[in-house]
Structure 1
Amino acid sequence: MAKGDPEKPKGKMSAYAFFVQMCRKEHKKTPEVPVNFAEFSKKCSERWKTMSGKEKSTFDEMAKADKVHYNQEMKDYGSAKGGKKKDPNAPKRPPSGFFLFCSEFCSKIKSTNPGISIGDVAKKLGEMWNNLSDSKKQLYINKAAKLKKYEKDVADY
């Protein structure tokens, strides 16, 4: 299964990647020789290291051109995608019953356990919520339900 967006442009290539691509094309001209990737890679690396700056400059130019092309594609991709920007004036989603519970007990946990990490506070709050009776949970859930004018606010917005 492919990850990410199939429409997204492929990444930009480095000068070395263009060099390896050229080596591969040269190697394909002799089809009777089987390709051992480890050996092929090692030979390309050694050849790259011994090349002069002038010889590498053509690959550097190819990489620069590819970078410009890639940046333009990404710019077009971003605008075509229509990147949603969050409206700061949009109504905020109300907290759930669990989050109302957390906001009430977070400071109590921090005061009884000074120096406790945020992760440990979250674990304790989760344990406390799970151990809470259904009737006490329902109090927080009802408080959250009263705050649920969000759907109406979004419709009005």
Structure 2
Amino acid sequence: MGKDPKKPRGKMSSYAYFVQTCREEHKKKHPDASVNFSEFSKKCSERWKTMSPKEKGKFEDMAKQDKLRYEREMKNYVPPKGQKKKRFKDPNAPKRPPSAFFLFCADFRPKIKSENPGLSIGDTAKKLGEMWNSSSAEEKQPYEKKAAKLKEKYDKVIIQNDMEVKLVDLIEKCYCLWSMEKSLSLCYRILLLTAQREKWIQDQLLQLMMMMMTMKKKRRKEKKKRKMRMMMMSSSLGDGTCSFVYAIYPYISIHHLEKPKSD
């Protein structure tokens, strides 16, 4: 299946913007000269490495703006039939924990680079792989233990986030379908069930209960004001109309009940 022309253009990195600027500069200086791609790329790479963070800042800002543009367009993008929309990655989601091998690499990569400064990224990765494979089970154990702990922590955060969303959604649905009292009763029951286990659930529910109690007080005040208003209107229209005003008040606005002006 061909590429969808309506699909948003991919985001560009800060280095890609830098290379694009270099290409434009080269075209202005040498409009008729042909470009050797490998040599040009090498020169760009060398120039990028010697640039200060301040000089790179301009291109990094451009990349950030383009990332925001891409994320905005991808949210509104609908893929054609037969294609699945790529799942949008939540920027606030917790990062996946590194494996035991990646933790091992983080420890030994600086040592390899200091011993072999001219070694390429590919060769460094190959050397680290060989070192890991030749390591004994005892040498690997600290990294495997650390990776397992990080994985356990990550799983807890994922489960907690998922439960938190479901819990808030449940309370909101209950609040829409039931009365305030029933929603508070549900919160209280969940609090009792989770009393000895999940403190974060209790914190969430207590916040919701406080919010609903505040809303309940606000509703009571509004109800009291409404009753006072109805009493004032009924007295201005006459005692005989009191029950009539109470009956029709929810369906009409105040200006409908104003006394007609005498000619």
TM-score normalised by length of structure 1: 0.48
Larger Rg: 2
Report which structure shows greater RCO (CA 8 Å, sep ≥6).
1
TM-score normalised by length of structure 2: 0.29
